Amino acid sequence: MKNSIKIKCPAKVNLTLEMVNKREDGFHNIKSIMQMINLYDYLTISTKESTNLQINLSGTSNEIPYDEKNLVYKAAKLYLEKACINNLEINIHIEKNIPIAAGLAGGSTDAAGTIWGLNYLLEKFNDTELNELCAQLGSDLNVCLNGGTILATSRGEITKQLPPAESALTLIKPKKLGISAGEAYKKYSLKEYKPQNNMTEKMLIAILDGDDINPYLYNDLEYAVFDDYKELQKIKSTYPQSIMSGSGSTYFVLENLKEFNLDNNYFMINNLKFISDGVGLAEA
């Protein structure tokens, strides 16, 4: 049995993100088409026998905690508890490349990668059970686990695989601005007018017909936070075709931008593309 593995954990963007209604548990029911892209965090997971259960995190970023507050830690703990394992030392090293608090599911994909990677090593659960574990931890984990082009509903944990879409992609982000999901959803709740554009259904038709999806890019959370941040307004005025991903603050355009027309308070990641898989083995 292997006792070490390296996992690639891709980022996602929201091609659409629309609120359906607010749930009794405080979350929102959503409808969203999410797309995995070839920007990766990497996890190195190793296990060894121990007299008690230990979960040790380390990593390359000074912006995230390496303790029980980290979603990776919570994912490892949940997996081991459900598998009734209490005699292993788990070491997880996080190579962080996906920006933090950026609407790109960096934390969620790492957590999904942890669950997938531990199961690769320990072989305790089937695919359905892995999805059930992911659904307990967050709204985007199931999308990151299954990958590709996905319709996500409920609070994001119910997923349906769509025909794979293809596109180049460029990310644009303010360097000093992160927006939490909690803030974005709260601001949406406070909006008196809530648009009903049905862009998800329109994009679904476009994907199934092989048509251009650009006209249907849409995000209710961009509408919720846009007026509060001049950084977002500057991106939109410079790149009118751009759209915010998730709760922000990252924007994207469906092309490979060759020139960057913003100042050094922003950064760009280009030469990206849609991918058809989710978390999985990193290439050796």
Taking only the tens place, the pLDDT of each residue in 226-258 is 999 999 999 999 999 999 999 999 999 999 999
User: Would you give the DSSP letter of residue 26?
Assistant: S
- CA-based torsion, 271, 272, 276, 278: positive or negative: positive
**Catalytic residue (choose from 8, 12, 31, 173):** 12
Tokens of 133: 């574990």
Q: Find the CATH number of the domain harbouring 249.
A: 3.30.230.10
pLDDT digits (tens, 9 = 90+) for 161-194: 999 999 999 999 999 999 998 899 999 999 999 8
Helix axes 127-137, 106-122, angle to 10 degrees: 140
Domain count along the chain: 1
Q: Is 140 a catalytic residue?
A: yes
Per-residue model confidence as pLDDT tens digits over 100-143: 989 999 999 999 999 999 999 999 999 999 999 999 998 899 99
Tokens linked to 18: 């629309």
Is 187 designated active site? no
Query: What is the token pair recorded at 182?
Result: 């909690």
Q: Using the predicted structure, report yes or no on whether residue 158 has a pLDDT greater than 90.
A: no
- Give the Cα separation of 132 and 134 in Å (integer): 5
Q: What are phi and psi of 95, to 5 degrees?
A: -90, 105
- 160 band by pLDDT with thresholds 50, 70 and 90: very high
**Cβ count within 10 A of residue 153:** 15
Range of the domain at 257: 1-284
- Confidence (pLDDT) at 51: 93
Per annotation, catalytic residue among 41, 110, 140, 220: 140
